[in-house]
Copies of this chain bind each other. A is one copy, B any other.
Amino acid sequence: MFTEQWRPKVIAALNGQELKVVKVQGSFPWHRHEACEELFLVWKGRFRVEFRDHVVELGPGEYVVVPCGVEHRTAADEQAEVLIFEPAEVLNTGDVVDPVFTAPRGVHL
């Protein structure tokens, strides 16, 4: 239903949390979320979450939880579709404001 990449869309909100869907390709800026954990679940394609000391490679049905305060970046060689679960109002670039990648909050599909 949408084509733009790196702009998460809220598809459900519950218990102060949001479920988002995002299309990604390329690499996202390094950032961290000081106050919350973040879950990435791959729906389609190959996706990876890079940490400073290791990389988690994921395919459909695979997921990772990024701990609070841990620097990470997400990446995909080909376009992937990913579900994100995290508290409402989390900024996608965390502690960083990026002119290209920082997405508006609260955009619903």
Contact = CB atoms under 8 A, between A and B. Distances in A.
B61 A15 contact: no
B38 A14 contact: yes
A36 interface: yes
A50 interface: no
Contacts of A65: 12-14
Q: How many copies does the complex hold?
A: 2
The size bracket of the interface on A is 20 to 34
B85 A19 contact: yes
A14 B43 contact: no
16 contacts: A12-B39, A12-B63, A14-B38, A14-B39, A14-B65, A14-B85, A14-B86, A15-B17, A15-B87, A17-B17, A17-B85, A19-B39, A19-B41, A19-B63, A43-B61, A85-B85
